[in-house]
């Protein structure tokens, strides 16, 4: 009897311990999701641009660290492994490993060391998001929070335009901090424009639909006022993909496309159309001349260091060594994410990044067919495709926006695979017990 009583007590204690671990894992999982949402809200809203005293709190770093720490704690409590993106993400991790590895051959060790730290942050975001966004509801909440948070830079851009406060080149609006560059501002808004449209199309409450319609309108207006040519093209790509594959029906998509076209055509300032028309005369454009010099530098780097490049974040440091005489003393970034990778890390890193980009675009395209995450996956695909279009003429390989989109895409792809597996299991005939 004593032995039986001890066994029962031990079993009860073990069950209680398992229950405690499950509850702890649930709490950490909820904290990870809340921190991930807080991270993207801070990334866009940037309260320090409105109230400078927030700067000392370093909210972006804190929310990112909280999300990463909570994800690890949740996995330790539950015994489940971290979600890393599967085999398709192997090229991305190999590419990421080449950033610190380039310390062995870089021509600017200090810059490459900074790039290594920044790259580590990007991968924390990538892993944390796909682990924290572990249900369709959590993924949806993250996308919609990002869309609404973008009202910060969007309304800030409208405010700068209205006041005429230090417009870039005399006519291009902007915001503050990382959004002071009109092109980067437009890129960041392209990354969440499909999320606002998704919220408008799927929300059931009228107040929510009004909020997301206002958000999308503010995003579009801000992109127009930046006069970013790449932003305009990327917006057309993102809108086209979302309206074509979005879950709003062909008739409603056509009406939405017509309304957007009429709105932009009617309200966009004349300077916007003049700048877009300058694409045809790119040979005389000063910014294109700078890009041409940057690409000449890249050509010289690839000829001299095809396998290694000059080291992460060392492109500007290599300017004096590889620039043609016609470039003068002006230095320019690579203005293309793929060429930037070739010049800084070599053709192997270029191939790895391309392999990952193709794989994740294909995965999230397929996820758009799955009923579990159809709307979310299609919004993410449109956002990621639009952002990558911007990257082709701007080039920021270590970008918060790029990696949070990668994380969202990986989360959507994983949820689609999980849904497919569950449906297959439910549909298969059960075998009789042996």
Q: List the domain boundaries for the chain.
A: 15-80, 87-416
Determine the Cα–Cα distance for residues 40 and 59; give it in Å rounded to an integer.
11
**Each residue's pLDDT tens digit, 366-420:** 999 998 999 999 999 999 999 999 998 887 899 999 999 999 999 999 999 988 8
How large is the average pLDDT for residues 289-308? 81
**Are 356 and 95 within 8 A, CB to CB?**
yes
Rounded CA separation 81/416 (Å)? 19
Query: Could you give the angle at the alpha carbon of 131 between the alpha carbons of 129 and 135, nearest 5°?
Result: 95
C-alpha 291/C-alpha 294 separation (Å) is 5
Residue 303 has pLDDT above 50, yes or no: yes
Question: What mean pLDDT value characterizes the chain?
Answer: 85
Percent of the chain exceeding pLDDT 90 equals 51
- Cβ(225)–Cβ(161) below 8 Å: yes
| Burial class of residue 135, CB neighbours in 10 A (0-12, 13-18, 19+) | middle
Q: How confident is the model at residue 434 (pLDDT cuts 50, 70, 90)?
A: very low
Neighbouring residues of 403: CB distance < 8 A, sequence distance ≥ 6: 122, 123, 125, 126
Residues 6+ positions from 252 with CB-CB distance below 8 Å: 201
pLDDT of residue 69 exceeding 80, the answer is yes
Q: pLDDT tens digits, residue range 75-91?
A: 777 777 788 888 999 99
Could you give the angle at the alpha carbon of 412 between the alpha carbons of 428 and 377, nearest 5°?
A: 105
- Which has more pLDDT, 299 or 308? 308
CB 352 within 8 A of CB 312: no
Lowest mean pLDDT among 255-259, 296-300, 357-361: 255-259
- Residue 3 scores a pLDDT above 70: no
What phi and psi, each to the nearest 5 degrees, are found at residue 63? -70, -40
pLDDT greater than 50 at residue 46: yes
Vertex 218 angle, CA 217 and 224, to 5°: 90
CB 239 within 8 A of CB 260: yes
Q: Are 92 and 122 in contact (CB under 8 A)?
A: no
Q: Which of 56-60, 117-121, 129-133, 174-178 has the lowest mean pLDDT?
A: 56-60
Dig out the tokens for 29 from the structure: 């999982």
**By the 8 A CB rule, do 198 and 375 touch?**
yes
- What is the C-alpha to C-alpha distance for residues 243 and 240, in angstroms, rounded to an integer? 5
Q: Mean pLDDT, to the nearest integer, of 221-249?
A: 87
Share of the chain above pLDDT 70, in %: 86
How confident is the model at residue 395, as a pLDDT?
78
Question: How far is 365 from 380, CA to CA, in rounded Å?
Answer: 9
- What is the pTM (predicted TM-score) of this model? 0.89
Give the closest residue to 128 by CA, choosing from 75, 87, 79: 75
The answer to which of 207-211, 242-246, 250-254 has the lowest mean pLDDT is 250-254
Task: Quickly state the pLDDT bin for 21 (edges 50, 70, 90).
Answer: low
Terminal alpha carbon distance of the chain? 34
Q: Are 199 and 212 in contact (CB under 8 A)?
A: yes
User: Residue 65 phi/psi, 5° resolution?
Assistant: -65, -40
**Of 328 and 9, which is predicted with more confidence?**
9
The model's confidence at residue 18, banded by pLDDT at 50, 70 and 90, is low
The answer to whether residue 1 scores a pLDDT higher than 50 is no
147-174 per-position pLDDT tens digit = 999 999 999 999 999 998 789 988 999 9
Distance CA 86, CA 354 (A): 17
pLDDT at 267: 76
| Closest by CA position to 377, among listed 236, 255, 247 | 247
Residues near 402 by beta carbon (within 8 Å), at least 6 away in sequence:
122, 387, 391, 396
Query: pLDDT at position 332, please?
Result: 66
- What pLDDT, on the 0 to 100 scale, is given for residue 366? 94
Is the pLDDT assigned to residue 19 strictly greater than 70? no
Give per-residue pLDDT as tens, 250-281. Answer: 666 777 777 777 777 777 788 887 887 766 55
Q: What is the pLDDT of residue 394?
A: 83
Arithmetic mean of pLDDT, 30-41: 90
pLDDT band for position 433 (cuts 50, 70, 90): very low
């Amino acid at each position: 009897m004593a032995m039986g009583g001890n066994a029962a007590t031990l079993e009860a204690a073990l069950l209680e311990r398992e229950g405690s671990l499950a509850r702890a894992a649930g709490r950490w999982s909820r904290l990870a999701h809340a921190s991930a949402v807080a991270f993207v809200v801070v990334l866009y809203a940037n309260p320090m641009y409105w109230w400078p005293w927030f700067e000392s709190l370093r909210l972006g770093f804190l929310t990112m660290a909280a999300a990463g720490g909570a994800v690890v704690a949740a996995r330790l409590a539950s015994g489940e492994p971290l979600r890393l993106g599967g085999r398709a993400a192997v090229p991305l991790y190999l590419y990421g490993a080449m950033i610190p590895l380039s310390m062995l051959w870089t021509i600017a060790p200090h810059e490459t060391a900074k790039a290594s730290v920044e790259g580590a942050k990007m991968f924390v975001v990538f892993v944390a998001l796909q682990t924290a966004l572990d249900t369709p509801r959590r993924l949806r909440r993250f996308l919609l929070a990002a869309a609404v948070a973008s009202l910060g830079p969007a309304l800030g851009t409208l405010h700068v335009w209205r006041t005429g406060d230090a417009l870039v080149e005399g006519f291009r609006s902007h915001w503050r901090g990382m959004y002071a560059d009109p092109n980067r501002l437009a890129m960041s808004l392209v990354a969440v424009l499909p999320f606002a449209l998704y919220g408008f199309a799927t929300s059931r409450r009228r107040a929510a639909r009004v909020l997301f319609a206002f958000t999308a309108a503010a995003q579009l207006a801000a992109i127009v006022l930046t006069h970013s040519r790449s932003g305009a093209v990327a917006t057309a790509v993102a809108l086209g993909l979302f309206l074509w594959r979005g879950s709003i029906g062909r008739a409603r998509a056509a009406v939405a496309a017509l309304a957007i076209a009429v709105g932009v055509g009617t309200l966009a300032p004349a300077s916007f159309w003049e700048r877009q028309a300058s694409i045809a005369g790119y040979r005389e454009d000063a910014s294109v001349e700078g890009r041409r010099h940057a690409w000449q530098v890249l050509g010289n780097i690839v000829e001299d260091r095809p396998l290694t490049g000059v080291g992460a974040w060392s492109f500007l440091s290599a300017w004096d060594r590889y620039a043609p005489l016609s470039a003068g003393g002006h230095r320019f970034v690579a203005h293309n994410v793929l060429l930037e990778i070739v010049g800084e890390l070599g053709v192997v890193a270029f191939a790895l990044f391309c392999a990952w980009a193709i794989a994740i675009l294909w995965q999230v395209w397929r996820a758009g067919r799955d009923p579990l995450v159809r709307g979310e996956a299609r919004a993410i695909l449109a956002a990621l495709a639009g952002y990558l279009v911007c990257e082709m003429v701007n080039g920021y390989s270590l970008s918060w926006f790029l990696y949070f989109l990668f994380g969202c895409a990986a989360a959507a792809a994983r949820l689609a695979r999980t849904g497919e597996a569950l449906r297959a299991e439910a549909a298969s005939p059960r075998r009789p017990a042996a």
